[in-house]
């Protein structure tokens, strides 16, 4: 069949890389894609939220499956757009309905869902401009640090963690009254701070059945030792060494199953990935967030470990037969180290020529912010490349990623050299 991947990052290059290996895929399109996807698929210059242009492409190219990378088109209802259109309704869309996407699109919606289904999460209350003063009173009842979350999508910047009560009150006011994050902060969730180590689990569900994909841990801060500004992600390690059988059983029984069952009970149409962000507090997992897509750069470490044909997994999602499929996972650890443009996540320059791509040995280079400029591959974003390597543990795998990163170059390239610093085994 002909397949379309929507998006342009490392996650989408990884999807395309796996899909291109499938004998079930005839023609592969990526919109808009990057220089990496251009080498294994046909890039089409269409924005991921331009639904009518996507429809035209799907019909013209006889596309039977659409894999949605980022959350934006999902939150805007791309799955419903396909389901409600006579010419598109038979296309398999990997990504939930607009209602399901609210798990990521609204923090309050997600918290209410978690509470309804008794899934462990941080205690919380939510507030609007009319209830700012009540919000300040609620802050007084909590211990620092204080966690403030803009309700809506805020490009990963909508969460503030503050030590000082006066600063927390001022920021609450800023978010609600001055709309610090625009419409996204018309509502703010204030929640209890959870003290522990983070990990993420990824679930592929057909709405009834699910497969739990390998765990991963990402490194969000720009600086070594987890310091400095938040980024989209500077690297990922899969599996997470501390996610032992006991913790995974708790995650499955207390979190994954009630989530999938809860969606089904509420008749929320959900065919796609659920990315569950967790904090392990003591020995217990608690949910800090849902995302309705795969993570980036987690995908670059998780998917290469999945040996199954990705298209058959997606077909299983489409016809609700994931219960007949067993995951086959590479036992080795995969590490993905991200090379970014100097200055990122603040201002940075683009169009820098990338060299060394043809010298890579023993790693896979997934492109994120790259494009073709004549015969050159040049930078076109903050996160530029993710270098994925396998080995028996994360230290050995990282050595390979770092060795290859030394051979890759562009003006002001930067990457973190301390991934895994917080892991002991």
- 147 touching ligand AMP, by CB under 6 A: yes
* Contacting ligand GLY within 289-308 (CB under 6 A): 291, 295-296, 298
CB of 160 to ligand AMP, least distance (A): 9
Nearer to ligand GLY by Cβ, of 233 and 345: the residue is 233
Residues 6+ apart with CB under 8 A from 65: 1, 2, 3, 4, 91, 92, 93, 94, 311, 314, 315, 318
Between CA 145 and CA 150, with CA 149 as vertex, the angle to 5 degrees is 150
- 185 touching ligand GLY, by CB under 6 A: no
* Contacting ligand GLY within 220-279 (CB under 6 A): 233
* Residue 108 interacting partner from ligand GLY, ligand AMP, none (CB closer than 5 to 8 Å by kind): none
Nearer to ligand AMP by Cβ, of 193 and 402: the residue is 193
CB 93 within 8 A of CB 121: no
CB of 230 to ligand GLY, least distance (A): 10
- 198 touching ligand AMP, by CB under 6 A: yes
The structure tokens 């997606």 sit at: 314
Of 183, 215, 192, 172, the residue nearest 288 (C-alpha): 192
**Which residue of 218, 310, 394, 415 would you call a contact of ligand GLY, by CB under 6 A?**
218
Secondary structure (DSSP) of 207-250: SS-EEEEEEEEE--EEETTTEEEE-S-SEEEES-TT--HHHHHH
* Whole-angstrom distance, CA of residue 189 vs CA of residue 134: 12
* Contacting ligand GLY within 24-83 (CB under 6 A): none
Binding mask 281-310 for ligand AMP (x = CB under 6 A): -------xx---------------------
Nearer to ligand AMP by Cβ, of 81 and 193: the residue is 193
- 122 touching ligand AMP, by CB under 6 A: yes
Task: Write out the two tokens for 389.
Answer: 């390597």
Nearer to ligand GLY by Cβ, of 19 and 216: the residue is 216
Q: What does the longest C-alpha to C-alpha distance in the chain come to?
A: 60
* Residue 295 interacting partner from ligand AMP, ligand GLY, none (CB closer than 5 to 8 Å by kind): ligand GLY
* Whole-angstrom distance, CA of residue 42 vs CA of residue 45: 10
- 104 touching ligand AMP, by CB under 6 A: no
CB atoms under 10 Å from CB of 97, counted, come to 22
- Tell me the site size for ligand AMP, rule CB under 6 A: 11
Of 35, 23, 59, the residue nearest 410 (C-alpha): 35
Going from the C-alpha of 390 to that of each of 143, 304, 332, the distances in angstroms are 42, 9, 6
CB of 189 to ligand AMP, least distance (A): 9
Interface residues toward ligand GLY, by CB under 6 A: 218, 233, 291, 295-296, 298
Interface residues toward ligand AMP, by CB under 6 A: 122, 147, 149, 159, 191, 193-194, 198, 277, 288-289
């Amino acid at each position: 069949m002909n397949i379309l991947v929507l998006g342009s990052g490392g996650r989408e290059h990884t999807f395309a890389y796996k899909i291109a290996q499938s004998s079930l895929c005839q023609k592969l399109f990526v919109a808009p894609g990057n220089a990496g996807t251009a080498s294994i698929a046909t890039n089409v210059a269409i924005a991921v939220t331009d639904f009518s242009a996507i429809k035209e492409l799907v019909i013209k190219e006889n596309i039977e499956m659409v894999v949605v990378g980022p959350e934006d088109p999902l939150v805007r209802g791309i799955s419903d757009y396909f389901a409600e259109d006579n010419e598109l309704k038979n296309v398999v869309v990997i990504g939930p309905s607009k209602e399901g996407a609210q798990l990521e699109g609204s923090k309050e919606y997600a918290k209410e869902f978690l509470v309804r289904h008794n899934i462990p999460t941080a205690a919380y209350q939510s507030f609007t401009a009319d209830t700012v003063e009540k919000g300040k009173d609620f802050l007084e009842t909590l211990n620092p640090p204080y966690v403030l979350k803009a309700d809506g999508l805020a490009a990963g910047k909508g969460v503030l963690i503050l030590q000082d009560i006066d600063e927390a009150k001022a920021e609450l006011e800023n978010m609600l009254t001055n709309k610090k994050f625009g419409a996204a902060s018309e509502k703010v969730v204030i929640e209890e701070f959870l003290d522990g180590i983070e990990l993420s689990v990824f679930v592929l569900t057909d709405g009834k059945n699910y497969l739990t994909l390998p765990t991963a841990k990402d490194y969000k801060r720009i600086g070594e030792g987890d310091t400095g500004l938040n980024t989209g992600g500077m690297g990922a390690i899969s599996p997470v060494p501390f996610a032992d059988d006991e913790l995974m059983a708790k995650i499955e029984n207390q979190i994954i199953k009630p989530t999938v069952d809860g969606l089904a009970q509420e008749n929320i149409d959900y065919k796609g990935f659920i990315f569950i962000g967790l904090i392990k507090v003591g020995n217990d997992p608690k949910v800090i967030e849902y995302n309705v897509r795969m993570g980036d750069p987690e995908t670059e470490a998780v998917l290469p470990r999945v040996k199954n044909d990705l298209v058959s997994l997606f077909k299983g999602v489409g016809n609700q037969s994931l219960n007949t499929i067993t995951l086959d996972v590479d036992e080795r650890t995969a590490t993905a180290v991200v090379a970014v443009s100097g200055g990122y996540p603040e201002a940075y320059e683009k169009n820098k020529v990338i060299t060394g791509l043809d010298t890579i040995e023993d790693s896979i280079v997934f492109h994120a912010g790259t494009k073709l400029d004549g015969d050159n591959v040049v930078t076109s974003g903050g996160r530029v490349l993710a270098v994925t390597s396998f080995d028996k543990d994360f230290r050995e795998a990282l050595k390979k990623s770092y060795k290859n990163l030394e051979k890759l170059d562009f003006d002001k390239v930067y990457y973190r050299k301390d991934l895994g610093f917080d892991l002991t085994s």
